[in-house]
């Protein structure tokens, strides 16, 4: 009997040690992890999950998973835990914008008791926000590269016959009596040809790449405030912004970068014109510069902020795509923001947008400061 009694503590100690090692292993996983029952109650969680909810592990156990993970009072939209339990098969799904500003990929695995009864599901949450952003950027760059080759070829083929149409239309207008019933038709032909010419020029501009040597010749230190002020002067020629209240907020430190001044002005000109067009009944246009240091780099920042009609959420991911436009027919080619994106990308910068319907939009341009570029080089 004594020998059997002596083995009991050894067995308990072994089981406790095994449990501690298992929990240490689970806690070492950097991705949040939860074991959830069929009523969405948390049975177990690791330290990463507790940290995500700013609580101790003991405070998480027994609470609803959606409450601890997303601060919600009901299951997260897009959660497929019930499907995983019903089918008794593992599932993988995305939770987008459930946890503020993040995208999580969730692996849901049904869990059974030692008796074979379904207990719930094990959820592992992997933060895919950065991966999704990089994937979207890669797709965007591939689109721009492909459309650039296509656009250049098409534009050159169209240019010559288009020039002939425009020339003959103008010759007809000079010789035709203005009282002729066909005179207005020829005017429309000339107007349409000019509109096509503008589109072709935008296509060529979009497709054209300056040789590296020429780019270097035209490079210099560019002051973003100076570039914004120049773009503003061009944008307000002819009273285009008479009903717009313009506010300028220049930061205490000059925001500068190295690049082609004319190209940077082209970016700001496009953003300011878009902002003005987004306020057909008037509003406020704010131009702001500053400096920003974050985990992505050391930036000079310029912002164009309007109080206009805003951009629908479903369009935000498309606005930099070539030929995408939310303007009415004949009012935009859909190339302006694509060209802006390409110019800023060539500067190793970032262009971001935030918008709410009927509240306005903010376009933020981040470009490396000159000293950051020198260090990178």
CATH code of 189's domain: 1.10.287
150 and 122 both lie in a single domain: no
27 and 166 both lie in a single domain: no
Q: Is residue 13 part of a domain?
A: no
Q: How far apart are CA 233 and CA 278, in angstroms?
A: 18
Residue 212: what pLDDT?
46
Q: Is residue 278 part of a domain?
A: yes
Q: Is residue 242 part of a domain?
A: yes
Q: Is residue 9 part of a domain?
A: no
Single out the residue in 176, 208, 240 at which a domain terminates.
208
257 and 371 both lie in a single domain: yes
202 and 294 both lie in a single domain: no
Terminal-residue alpha carbon distance, the chain? 78
CATH number reported for the structural domain that contains residue 307 in this entry: 3.30.565.10
153 and 80 both lie in a single domain: no
107 and 149 both lie in a single domain: no
Q: Is residue 10 part of a domain?
A: no
Residue 18: what pLDDT?
72
220 and 350 both lie in a single domain: yes
Residue 8: what pLDDT?
54
The residue range of the domain holding 76 is 21-127
Residue 58: what pLDDT?
84
Residue 236: what pLDDT?
72
84 and 173 both lie in a single domain: no
204 and 221 both lie in a single domain: no
Please state the domain count of the chain: 3
Residue 164: what pLDDT?
87
Beta-bridge partner residues of 112: 118
Query: Count of CB atoms within 10 A of residue 187's CB?
Result: 15
pLDDT under 70 in the chain at which residues?
1-9, 140-153, 156, 198-199, 202-218, 237-241, 323-334, 372-377
Q: How far apart are CA 305 and CA 246, in angstroms?
A: 10
Residue 213: what pLDDT?
46
Q: Is residue 273 part of a domain?
A: yes
Residue 140: what pLDDT?
67
What percent of the chain is helix, strand and coil (3-state, nearest 5)?
45, 25, 30
Residue 108: what pLDDT?
92
Single out the residue in 150, 178, 208 at which a domain terminates.
208
164 and 227 both lie in a single domain: no
254 and 204 both lie in a single domain: no
Residues in the chain: 377
Q: How far is CA 201 from CA 6, 11, 72, 291, 369, in A?
A: 91, 82, 51, 35, 31
Residue 139: what pLDDT?
72
CATH number reported for the structural domain that contains residue 40 in this entry: 3.30.450.20
Q: Is residue 4 part of a domain?
A: no
201 and 215 both lie in a single domain: no
Q: Taking the CA atoms of the chain, what radius of gyration do you get in angstroms?
A: 30
Q: Is residue 3 part of a domain?
A: no
Residue 70: what pLDDT?
86
Residue 30: what pLDDT?
84
């Amino acid at each position: 009997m004594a020998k059997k009694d002596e083995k009991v503590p050894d067995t308990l100690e072994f089981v406790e040690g095994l449990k501690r090692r298992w929990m240490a292993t689970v806690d070492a996983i950097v991705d949040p992890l939860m074991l959830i029952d069929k009523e969405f109650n948390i049975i177990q969680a690791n330290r990463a999950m507790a940290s995500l909810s700013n609580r101790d592990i003991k405070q998480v156990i027994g609470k609803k998973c959606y409450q601890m993970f997303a601060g919600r009072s009901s299951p997260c939209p897009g959660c497929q835990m019930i499907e995983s339990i019903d089918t008794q098969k593992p599932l993988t799904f995305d939770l987008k914008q459930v946890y503020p500003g993040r995208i999580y990929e969730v692996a849901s695995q049904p869990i059974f008791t030692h008796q074979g009864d379904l207990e719930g599901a094990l959820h592992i949450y992997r933060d895919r926000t950065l991966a999704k952003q990089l994937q979207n950027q890669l797709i965007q760059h591939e689109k721009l590269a492909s459309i650039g080759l296509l656009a250049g070829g098409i534009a050159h083929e169209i240019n010559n016959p288009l020039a002939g149409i425009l020339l003959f239309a103008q010759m007809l207008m000079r010789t035709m009596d203005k009282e002729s019933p066909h005179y207005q038709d020829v005017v429309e032909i000339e107007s349409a040809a000019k509109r096509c010419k503008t589109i072709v020029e935008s296509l060529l501009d979009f497709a054209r790449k300056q040789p590296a040597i020429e780019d270097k010749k035209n490079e210099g230190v560019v002051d973003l405030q100076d570039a914004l002020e120049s773009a503003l002067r061009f944008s307000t020629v002819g009273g285009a912004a008479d009903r717009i209240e313009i506010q300028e907020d220049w930061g205490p430190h000059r925001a500068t970068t190295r690049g082609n001044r004319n190209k940077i002005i082209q970016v700001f000109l496009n953003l300011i014109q878009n902002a003005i067009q987004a306020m057909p009944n008037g509003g406020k246009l704010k131009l702001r510069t500053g400096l920003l240091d974050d985990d992505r780099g050391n930036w000079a920042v310029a912002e164009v902020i309007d109080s206009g009609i805003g951009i629908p959420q479903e369009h935000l991911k498309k606005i930099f795509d070539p030929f995408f436009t939310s303007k009415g027919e004949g009012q935009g080619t859909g190339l302006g923001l694509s060209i802006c994106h390409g110019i800023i990308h060539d500067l190793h910068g970032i262009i971001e947008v935030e918008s709410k319907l009927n509240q306005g939009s903010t376009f933020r341009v981040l470009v490396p400061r000159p000293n950051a570029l020198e260090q990178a080089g």
